[in-house]
Structure 1
Amino acid sequence: MTAEQQTGRKMATRSEVIHCYSQLAACLALMVKLARAKEWGRLPELEIQCAGIVERLKVVEPMELLDSEQMQEARRLMERIHADQDEVCQLVKPQLEKLVARMSFLQQQKNLDKIYGLPH
C-alpha cells in the first residue's frame, strides 16, 4: 500500500468516527423528540440502532487518532449525545415506573384469582 493510500485510509477512518458520532447524536435527538411527544413505540428500535452505532465506534475509533479539529467536533457531539441521553432517561423513567406498577398490580390480581379459584 502506498503512502497516499494509507493517508486516504486514515482519513476515511477518521471521518467514519465523526460520522458515527453524528449518527448517534441524530438518533438520540430523534429519541428525545419522540419521548417528548410520548411516542414510545419507536424508542426500542432507535435504541437498537444506537447500540449498533456504539458497537461500530468500538471497532473504528481505536484504529486512528483524531486531529484537534476532529477531537473538538467529537467532544461537541458527545456533549450533545450525553445531554439527549439524560433527557430521554428523564422522560422514560416515569413511564417505566407506571409500567412496573401496572404489571405488579396485574400479578397481584392473578394471584388473588388463583387463590379464590377464579379463571384468569
Structure 2
Amino acid sequence: MPVRHEVLHCYGELASTMSLMAALARAREWERLAELEARCAALVDRLKAIGKVSLDPVQLEQVRSLIDCIHSDQEDVCDMVKPQLESLMVKMAQLQKRSELGKAYGTPY
C-alpha cells in the first residue's frame, strides 16, 4: 500500500474505532473500551512510524475531516468515562478505608 494511502487508511481506521468507542460509552458498555483504546494506540504508533508525508489537497482535507471526527468522539468518550473513573476511585477509597478499619479493629465476622 502506498504511504499516502496508508496514512488515509490509518486515519480512517482511527476515526471508525473512536466512533465505536463513543457509541459503546453512550451505551455504557465499558468492557471493550480498553481493547479499542489499544487499537487506537497502535494506529497512532503506525502513523508516527510513517512520519511526515506530503498529501495532495484532497487527501489533506480528508485527513483534517477525519481528525475533527476523531477529536469530537474522543471528547465524548472522555466526558462519559471520567465520571465512571471518579466513581470507581471513590469506591476503591471506601474499600481501602474498610480494609484499614478491619485491620485496626478486627472484622465483625
TM-score interval (norm. to shorter): over 0.9
Q: Percent of aligned pairs with the same residue? A: 49
Q: 2:90 aligns with which of 79, 101, 106?
A: 101
CA shift for structure 1 position 100: 0.3
Gaps of 5+ in 1: 1-8
Relative contact order, higher structure (CA 8 A, sep 6+)? 2
Q: 1:90 aligns with which of 79, 90, 93?
A: 79
Paired with 2:15 and 2:27, the residues of 1 have a C-alpha distance of 19
Return the structure number with greater helix share.
1
> What is the RMSD computed on CA atoms of the aligned residues?
1.5
Gaps of 5+ in 2: none
User: What amino acid does structure 2 have at the position aligned with 1:117?
Assistant: G
Q: Which runs of 4+ in 1 moved over 2 A?
A: 117-120
Aligned residues: 109
Verify: 1:68 aligned to 2:39, yes or no: no
CA shift for structure 1 position 38: 0.2
CA shift for structure 1 position 117: 2.2
Larger radius of gyration: 1
What is the TM-score with the length of structure 2 in the denominator? 0.95
Taking a change above 3 Å as real, the CA distance of residues 69 and 99 of structure 1, as seen in their structure-2 partners, is: same
SS at match of 2:76: helix
